Amino acid sequence: MSPPNVEIDPAVLASAAGQTVVITGAAGGIGAATAALFSENGANVVIADLAFARATAEKLITTLAYPDKAIFVPADILNWADMKNLFKEAVSKFGQVDVVVANAGIMETKLVLDLDAVDEKGDLLESHEAFRVIDVNIKGTLNTIRLGLHTMRNNSKGGSIVLLASTSSYFGGTSVAAYITSKHGVLGLLRSTRVAATQVGVRINAVAPFFTPTHITANYADDWAAAGLEANTPEDVARVVLQQALNPEVTGTCVLACGSIRRELETTRAALIKQWMGEDVTTLMAEAGKLFAKLGGYPLPKARE
């Protein structure tokens, strides 16, 4: 028997009206679909993407339900000055930020574990592209989280952050090493920032899309369709993003999204820990958690001189 599906509640989506959302990587794909759905439901939309995407982003704005309630702010999520400016521009234009969608991410274009990638001497080449993927997907997401929390911490009604994880945050069989590693890192960010977010009144959740036809999946989209496998559209994922962002009842959750299949993964995983790890380990982890809570958090080591 399958676990219950996460339902999309139109009333929850409609609660976007009057709120301000910042979406990174929003000029195309899932980000653009999310921007469109927020606008359709009456939100102020801040579209963030790299500077070269300006024309695409500005064209997208003209198609939104409320183009006068949307702006484009160029930002590289790895550039701290860009990101500070992004949130300041959002507050300057719309008064405050209510929702942040950390959508921006990339995948490698060459196999990181290609052992035939050698130079003229036969020495294995360093994978700079892999470092870039890990930087963008983990460091960039962390930048987005930190500035989102800082900006929303004084909101009278709190705030909300949604991370774009992936099924690759939970599974790793495709050998796309940098992407899979980075998306596991995004899941780690969800789990490790929940307490700090809750302390400042911000809910943090994630969405883990399965196959979605975007630039990243273009090379096998036809094969996927021919195989008759369940698939998303960007709009499908956008609906789950809004549900996660706007549902006041959830925090620390992650919903797998694949077309008609929408399953919550984090609370269901937690419910299986005793079965998975055994009662002794489960008890030990629970007691350790109590100790760290008593200590006021994990005691950090001193920096080495």
Structure tokens at 11: 């009333």
179 catalytic, yes or no? yes
Q: What single-letter DSSP state applies at residue 124?
A: B
Nearest to 63 by CA among 89, 28, 110: 28
**Pairwise CA distance, residues 258 & 265, whole Å:** 13
Q: What is the CA radius of gyration of the chain?
A: 20
**Pairwise CA distance, residues 169 & 233, whole Å:** 20
Q: How many Cβ atoms sit within 10 Å of the Cβ of residue 140?
A: 24
CA 191 to chain centre: 12
**Pairwise CA distance, residues 52 & 50, whole Å:** 6
**Pairwise CA distance, residues 58 & 54, whole Å:** 6
- In this structure, which amino acid lies at residue 34? T
Return the SS3 of 143: helix
Nearest to 164 by CA among 4, 9, 31: 31
DSSP labels for 247-267?
-TT--S-EEEEETTEEEE-HH
Helices marked H in 123-207 = 128-134, 141-152, 177-199
**Pairwise CA distance, residues 104 & 93, whole Å:** 22
Pick the catalytic residue from 170, 179, 220, 298: 179
Q: Which residues pair with 202 in a beta bridge?
A: 159
Q: What are the residue numbers of the active site?
A: 179
